[in-house]
Amino acid sequence: MTILEHISDILARASGGVQSLVAAIRDLFRSDPELRRKVAFSVALIALSAKMAKADGVVTTNEVKAFHEFFAVPPHEMRNVARLYNLAQQDIAGFEAYAKQMAGLCRGEAHECAMLEDVLDALYHVAKADGVVHEREQNYLARIAEIFEIDETHFAQIQARHILDGEADPYVLLGLPSGATVDEVKKRYRQLVAENHPDRLIARGVPEEFIIIANGRLAALNNAYERLELTWRKK
């Protein structure tokens, strides 16, 4: 059974909107944490993307295209995605309720806590698809980060990865002070590249379709490191 088929099956059982769906994920996959993470990630991205679109007020063609870069949805399963997306948009519960439930799935497990950052990264990818992260989208994402208990420094790193002109402060992107030494930069860069390898995301339960997240992180890290290298050469 595919991830989307699992979601469809849960939707058939859930009667209280997306909130009851998240609760069902915890109960149905209690003995299979890897599958729970994959289903939870997919549900979080679909539902929170729908709420973000509603907060922004406009769903552009590029945002829809970006969404489908993650979900290579076969035609016969498109209705499952559409059903959850529409349910989330129509649900009277606010996005904060969803985000809190997703954060609640963490339960102190490193894999599931790290996955919350993956969800936030994916939402940024959708938000910036039309060429700009609008103020309401930025406020939405900042609130999601707060609920996910992602601290300000870490959130600044995530933001920097998604600055569209590629000119984010490389030290912020690497999570280092501007006075960091060359050795400190090299050590941190190698650490982040290892942490964000696609295999790491797959190991913590992110569906393989979402490896675009890891690729985007690595591209941003490489850009930041190359810009610092260029600065060192000029000295």
- How far is residue 72 from each of residues 37, 65, 76, 198, measured CA to CA in Å? 19, 11, 12, 18
How far does CA 109 lie from the centroid of its chain? 17
- How far is residue 36 from each of residues 6, 30, 47, 137, 206, measured CA to CA in Å? 10, 7, 16, 28, 10
- Domain range enclosing 124: 3-234
In total, how many domains does the chain have?
Answer: 1
pLDDT of residue 65: 64
pLDDT in tens, the chain (235 residues): 677 777 777 777 666 666 677 777 777 777 887 777 778 878 888 888 888 877 766 655 666 666 666 665 667 767 777 777 777 777 766 788 888 877 877 665 655 677 888 889 888 888 887 777 888 889 999 999 999 999 998 899 999 988 866 678 999 999 999 889 999 999 999 999 998 888 887 777 676 767 777 888 898 999 999 999 988 877 6
- How far is residue 202 from each of residues 38, 102, 155, 224, measured CA to CA in Å? 9, 19, 22, 24
Instruction: Please give the DSSP secondary-structure letter assigned to residue 93.
Output: S
